[in-house]
Amino acid sequence: MTEFVPNTNGEYAVTAFSTHWIKYVPPTVIFFLLLPVALTLFITAGLNAQSYGNGADMLFLGALLLLLLVHHWYFHRILSEAMVDVIITNKRVIFCQDSLLRFDDMHEFNLQNLIAVQAQKHGILQNVLRYGSLWLDTGGSVSTDLGGVIPQVPHPHYVAQQITTERRMHTESS
């Protein structure tokens, strides 16, 4: 467990967590679908090496290129996702979205400006695997506005309760 050091202005981290592991499923499925294709191309190139010289060479290079691209894409996606995404402090909620070399977004929600926190779980998959999304209403936003929605939060009702408790404590102390 990470130990959090209080900030000089009295802000301290309540909890920090990554989004649900379901985010790893789509890239893993794509990886394991394309990997056999690349391996089949390798085998086909090897079997046809004597019969179709240049054709087998092109097939081999295509298989090599596909294997390298799929392998590097997959680990790029996994490493991009393997970071802390949500930090809840006693004064704000910070949500980070990042992908190596593509984007690095940070959404910060001040607890004083939060009107409501809504936890949502839709569908069988989200209910069985116990994840959902949080909508942080800052006034004037709707639940479909992606700027105020934190997707794939594990145990969203518990996290919403934590945020509401911190918001209450913060407004009572002010």
**Under a CB-based contact definition with an 8 Å cutoff, are residues 85 and 96 in contact?**
yes
Does the domain formed by 13-18+84-173 have CATH 3.40.50? no
pLDDT at 40: 94
Q: Is the pTM of this model over 0.85?
A: no
**What does the pLDDT profile of the chain (174 residues) look like in tens digits?**
455 555 567 888 889 998 999 999 999 999 999 999 999 999 999 888 888 878 889 999 999 999 999 999 999 988 888 777 899 998 899 998 887 777 788 889 998 888 889 999 999 999 999 999 999 988 776 656 666 789 999 999 999 999 999 888 877 776
pLDDT at 173: 72
pLDDT at 10: 81
Distance separating alpha carbons of residues 15 and 2, to the nearest angstrom: 9
Distance separating alpha carbons of residues 11 and 50, to the nearest angstrom: 70
Alpha helices by DSSP H, listed for 2-155, are 25-47, 53-81, 123-129
pLDDT at 147: 63
Ranges of each domain in the chain: 13-18+84-173, 26-80
